[in-house]
């Protein structure tokens, strides 16, 4: 009985251990990304430490959080600078809702970090998809019939980076959740 128990514990430890150190080549991960070169640049920029799927997920979530925070800060600055232009402030306020902490991307990144700590990688997938969708909504305007808002600020570039990084996380999760 006791012996069986310890065998089971050893078995569980082994499963946890092997799951945690699953390694997939960056080139293969990035084959399912929307932008292969962006994906491999990002994942190869991880200096030192482990390159297994769990470590790469943690690394790219950290990058995503930084990029989403930068975007929120940029939007707040743009709202301040364009106070006189009604259309622009309207557009930026819509983008702020898509990116901020309550309903937007920043809240989703924090939720994804909690899911990551709990190793609930499967639930991270819809969370990343909602971040891609939030960024897309900010870029594409508020109604489908509208042409994309002609925004000459850095915001479209920032929102695009957020979409690409969230997509890289999705590409890693695809392999991580196959284990
Ligand atoms: C892919 O990402 C690179 C940056 O790594 C960028 O220069 C290039 O324009 C992107 N291509 C597309 C189609 O978005
Ligand atoms: C996104 O994050 C990376 C890594 O921290 C940084 O190099 C890059 O400048 C950031 N880009 C934006 C638009 O925030
Ligand atoms: C604001 O948008 C309306 C409706 O699209 C347009 O008619 C108006 O010219 C715009 N105003 C400015 C200052 O761009």
Give pLDDT tens digits for 113-129: 999 999 999 999 999 99
* pLDDT-wise least confident of 18-32, 39-53, 69-83: 18-32
Which residues have CB under 6 Å of ligand 2? 63, 66-67, 70, 158, 161
Spacing, Cα 164 to ligand 2 middle (Å): 11
Judge whether 3 lies within some domain.
no
- Residue nearest atom 13 in ligand 2 by C-alpha distance: 158
Spacing, Cα 42 to ligand 2 middle (Å): 10
Look at residue 142 in the predicted model and tell me its pLDDT. 65
Judge whether 108 lies within some domain.
yes
Complete DSSP assignment for 155-167? HHHHHHHHHHHHH
Judge whether 155 lies within some domain.
yes
Q: How many domains does the chain have?
A: 1
Query: Which residue range(s) make up the domain with 81?
Result: 22-176
Look at residue 36 in the predicted model and tell me its pLDDT. 98
Look at residue 107 in the predicted model and tell me its pLDDT. 97
Judge whether 16 lies within some domain.
no
Q: Is the pLDDT of residue 132 over 70?
A: yes
Judge whether 53 lies within some domain.
yes
Look at residue 18 in the predicted model and tell me its pLDDT. 47
Residues 128 and 166: beta-carbon distance below 8 Å: yes
Spacing, Cα 19 to ligand 2 middle (Å): 30
Helix, strand, or coil (residue 75): helix
Q: What is the pTM of this model?
A: 0.87
Closest-lying ligand to the alpha carbon of 74?
2
More confident residue, 94 or 7: 94
Judge whether 124 lies within some domain.
yes
Residues 179 and 19: beta-carbon distance below 8 Å: yes
Which residues have CB under 6 Å of ligand 3? 85, 87
What integer is the mean pLDDT of 72-92? 92
CATH number of the structural domain spanning residue 100:
1.20.140.40
Residue 145, exposed/middle/buried by CB under 10 A (0-12, 13-18, 19+)?
exposed
Tens digits of residue pLDDT in 138-163: 998 766 666 677 889 999 999 999 99
Look at residue 14 in the predicted model and tell me its pLDDT. 47
Judge whether 17 lies within some domain.
no
Closest-lying ligand to the alpha carbon of 63?
2
Tens digits of residue pLDDT in 59-81: 999 999 999 999 999 999 999 99
SS (H, E, C) 26-55: HHHHHHHCCCHHHHHHHHHCCCCCCCCHHH
Judge whether 149 lies within some domain.
yes
């Amino acid at each position: 009985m006791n012996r069986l128990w310890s065998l089971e514990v050893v078995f569980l430890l082994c499963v946890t251990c092997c799951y945690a150190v699953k390694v997939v080549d960056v080139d293969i991960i990035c084959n399912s990304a929307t932008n292969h070169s962006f994906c491999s640049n990002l994942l190869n920029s991880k200096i030192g430490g482990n390159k297994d799927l769990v470590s790469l997920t943690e690394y790219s979530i950290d990058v995503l959080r930084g990029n989403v925070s930068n975007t929120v800060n940029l939007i707040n600055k743009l709202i301040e600078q364009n106070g006189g232009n009604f259309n622009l402030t309207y557009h930026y306020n819509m983008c702020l809702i898509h990116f901020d902490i309550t309903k937007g991307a920043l809240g989703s990144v924090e939720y994804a970090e909690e899911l990551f700590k709990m190793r609930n990688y499967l639930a991270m997938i819809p969370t990343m998809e909602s971040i891609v969708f939030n960024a897309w909504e900010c870029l594409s305007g508020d109604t489908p019939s509208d042409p994309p808002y002609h925004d000459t600020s850095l915001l479209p570039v920032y929102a695009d980076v957020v979409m690409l990084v969230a997509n890289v996380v999705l590409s890693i999760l695809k392999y991580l959740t196959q284990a």
